[in-house]
Amino acid sequence: METTGTSAEVCAQDVETLYQANHRWLSGWLRARLGSRADADDLAQDTFIRVLCLHAGKSIAIREPKAYLATIAGRLVTNFYRRQSIERAYLEVLATLPQDEIPSLETQALMREALLEIDQMLDGLGAKVKQAFLLAQFEELPYAEIAERLGVSLRTVKYYVARAMVHCCAMQESS
């Protein structure tokens, strides 16, 4: 590819070439996994935006573009389903509330956003560590009950919750 200009322009041209060559394929690949053309198109766009951000100002040389795009898109699909699951669970909780206790739409949107941020913060933790933290913080279960539910010792629950707290603090400081 022969280009002139700044490195940001080179990168944008590289991504444009990648986009033109693979967008239709990627949208179809995503549609097969999501079952929705609109969601597939959104995630295809998000994939190329992610590529642009990952290579900020650097020229792109990708040997296997479809595999590279499928890897990025696959992660976005995972995040998409996780987000849907969190939102569905939140709506289920709202449905159980008496009408006069249902928060405003603005508060609901803020709560969904906060839940998604918490989920992202906990993403790097193991399943039991994440579960112990959520049970302690959101369901306010005593550590003994959490230990029983998870089939671990009380000491292990304390370790899990402390590890999750440290992880969340580190994630918050880095952002």
The residue to which tokens 């900020």 are assigned: 56
Q: Model confidence over 74-111: pLDDT tens digits?
A: 999 998 998 888 888 888 888 898 999 999 999 988 98
How sure is the predictor about 66, in pLDDT bands with cuts at 50, 70 and 90? very high
Write out the DSSP string of the chain.
----S-HHHHHHHHHHHHHHHHHHHHHHHHHHHHS-HHHHHHHHHHHHHHHHHHTTTS----S-HHHHHHHHHHHHHHHHHHHHHHHHHHHHHHHHS-GGGPPPHHHHHHHHHHHHHHHHHGGGS-HHHHHHHHHHHTS---HHHHHHHHT--HHHHHHHHHHHHHHHHHHHHH-
**% of the chain exceeding 90 in pLDDT:** 42
CA proximity to 161, closest of 19, 144, 174, 173: 144
Q: Model confidence over 120-141: pLDDT tens digits?
A: 888 888 889 988 998 888 878 8
Contacts of 174 (CB under 8 A, 6+ apart): none
Please say whether the beta carbons of 154 and 147 come within 8 A: yes
How sure is the predictor about 153, in pLDDT bands with cuts at 50, 70 and 90? very high
Q: What amino acid is encoded at 167 in this protein?
A: H
Query: CA-based diameter of the chain, in Å?
Result: 65
Which domains, and CATH codes, for the chain? 1-102 (no CATH), 104-175 (1.10.10.10)
The whole-angstrom separation of Cα 45 and Cα 152 is 43
